[in-house]
Amino acid sequence: MVRVATVISMAMAMALTAAVAHAEGATVYQEDKKFSEPEVTIKAGQSVVFANKDPFTHNVYSKTAGMSFDLRTQKSGESSEVKFDHTGESEVQCAIHPQMKMKIKVTE
Amino acid sequence: MRNPKWFSVFMAAAMLPCIAYGAQTMSLEQLKALYTRPTSVPFPTDNPYSAEKAALGEMLFFDPRLSGANYISCASCHNPALSWGDGLPRGIGHGMTVLGRRTPTILNAAWADLLMWDGRKANLEEQALGPMSAPVEMNQELDKLAAKLGAIEGYRERFTQVFPGEGISVANAAKAIATYERTIVSGTAPFDRWIAGDEKAISESAKRGFVVFNTKANCQACHSGWNFTDNSFRDIGLPDGDIGRAKILDLPSMQHAFKTPTLRDVERRAPYMHDGSVPTLLAVVEHYDHGFVQRPSLSEEVKPLHLTEREKADLVDFMMTLTGDNPPVHVPVLFAGPHTAQR
């Protein structure tokens, strides 16, 4: 099961950093139509923040069974957080730019 | 009266520091650098290029015997005389069936990621077999293709040369066709000569249109780079009921989303859009300016542009500079063989 936080602006994301820092496992940026990391590893219960630094929209998602999520369209400057409760490996992609791919490994 | 040379130089210099490109500000020269042509064609490591493989692929591409009724080849719809399309609003297949979407060009397909308007094919090798086997397109049963080609002595010999130890197979036919398709690259266009430094290569209207393309009209958000496409999938607000990529990837943003095509040689490929519903380049500009349908899946990049009539004309003039000096296409002489109606 994956819980997706509502979209938050970059400014709010920074303001909330202190409150959620203990739960955040990694931040992945979308820039120049690429993910900043080809792969990140986090622990179950932690989150990954996807932050759009491009001047156009992205739509990050995963269809991996048991780890699927859809961040919907993220405008430039927006961030979204995805919490992963269970171990596994999620194949992540941008729906708009399918050449953008990365993996999230969730460990104990 | 023509503007004096000093005026043109002044205007170019005045433009230098001021172009807002997305979130960046850059000079015209920096912007032009984003459109430099590549120096080589990419081929995948699991299907590397060879001249012999491309020549075999060329034969297969033009051979109507790869269709069930032996009268439709890949080139029937991807016609080099029509910019590798067919000039129709929608393709026509087996039994004169009118298809659901316009035939896309295969120009510069070597740089494509996913293929087809809805991205349902992962690479050119897969795509080569899709229309070939589709009953409404070439209607060839793939499990009978190898035997059909094997009945032609020339193909038996050629496949053995190109694929030693393997010979004829559906997979090897697809590899050969894909290799040939990757060699189909748009020629050097007046735009390219301007990018390379020839200020006389394109008109002042086209130069203005290039700036509008990259700024107010926001075309570069999708039609970016030397090939004028980032291969992205977006809903651009066309009114038809085709939901496009959403049939393949069931996400809200993919409703009515289609692949962004290249604009290379675009003036040769009317009518436009996935359904051939837009007749001219000016009509395309009008669609993006104010003619699109507002709906939840509409791309955030598609907004009312409020272009002036001059800006619209400049955009069209610019797009027409993308037509390349393409050499005549070689049409192969096919191997003689049995002609039957069997599939």
Told to judge if B125 belongs to the known catalytic residues of this protein, a careful annotator would answer no
Domain B51-182, second-level architecture: Orthogonal Bundle (1.10)
Q: In the predicted model, is pLDDT for residue B22 greater than 90?
A: no
pLDDT of residue A15: 44
Residues of A in contact with B299 (CB under 8 A): 57, 96
Q: In the predicted model, is pLDDT for residue A9 greater than 70?
A: no
Q: For B154-178, what is the mean pLDDT? A: 97
For B10-26, b/e burial (b = at least 16 CB within 10 A) is eeeeebeeebebbeeeb
**Among B23, B24, B253, whose Cβ lies nearest the Cβ of A96?**
B253
Q: For B124-137, what is the mean pLDDT? A: 96
Task: Give residues with Cβ within 8 angstroms of B2, minimum separation 6.
Answer: none
pLDDT of residue B323: 98
| CA-angle at A39, arms to A34 and A44, nearest 5° | 130
**Among A63, A70, A95, whose Cβ lies nearest the Cβ of B233?**
A95
pLDDT of residue B257: 98
Which string of DSSP letters, residue by residue, matches B49-112? --HHHHHHHHHHHH-GGGSTTS---HHHHSBGGGTTB-SSSS-B-GGGPBPSSPPPP-TTGGG-
Q: In the predicted model, is pLDDT for residue B74 greater than 80?
A: yes
Q: In the predicted model, is pLDDT for residue B23 greater than 80?
A: no
Q: Where are the domains of chain B?
A: 51-182, 188-322
Task: Find, in chain A, the residue whose alpha carbon is nearest to that of B257.
Answer: A96
* Residues of chain B with a CB closer than 8 angstroms to some CB in chain A: 22-24, 113-114, 119, 221, 230-234, 245, 249, 251-254, 257, 299-301
Domain B188-322, second-level architecture: Orthogonal Bundle (1.10)
Q: In the predicted model, is pLDDT for residue B10 greater than 70?
A: no
Q: For B93-114, what is the mean pLDDT? A: 97
d(CA A105, CA A96): 23
pLDDT of residue A13: 47
Q: Which of A 36-55 lie inside 8 A of B, CB atoms?
A: 54-55
pTM score, whole prediction: 0.89
Beta partners for residue A88, in sequence order: A106
pLDDT of residue B26: 86
Tens of pLDDT, residue by residue over B287-303, are 999 999 999 999 999 99
Q: For A46-66, what is the mean pLDDT? A: 96
Contact of A97 with chain B, judged by CB distance below 8 Å, is answered with: yes
pLDDT of residue B19: 73
HSE-CB of B295 using CA atoms within 13 angstroms = 19
Q: In the predicted model, is pLDDT for residue B277 greater than 90?
A: yes
Q: Say if B51-182 and B188-322 have the same CATH topology.
A: yes
Q: Is the ipTM of this complex over 0.90?
A: no
Residues of A in contact with B24 (CB under 8 A): 55
Q: For A72-99, what is the mean pLDDT? A: 96
Give Cα separations from B311 to A12, A24, B286 (angstroms). 39, 47, 11
Helix (H) or strand (E) holding B140: none
* Mean of all residue pLDDT scores within chain B: 93
Q: In the predicted model, is pLDDT for residue A3 greater than 80?
A: no
Owner of token pair 């002609």: B339
Contact of A32 with chain B, judged by CB distance below 8 Å, is answered with: no
d(CA B250, CA B237): 18
The runs of H, that is alpha helices, within chain B are 5-15, 28-33, 51-62, 74-77, 124-133, 145-150, 153-162, 170-182, 190-195, 204-214, 281-286, 309-319
Whether residue B253 and residue A95 make contact (CB cut-off 8 A), yes or no, is yes
pLDDT of residue B6: 44
**CATH number, residue A70:** 2.60.40.420
Tens of pLDDT, residue by residue over B34-68, are 999 999 999 999 999 999 999 999 999 999 999 99
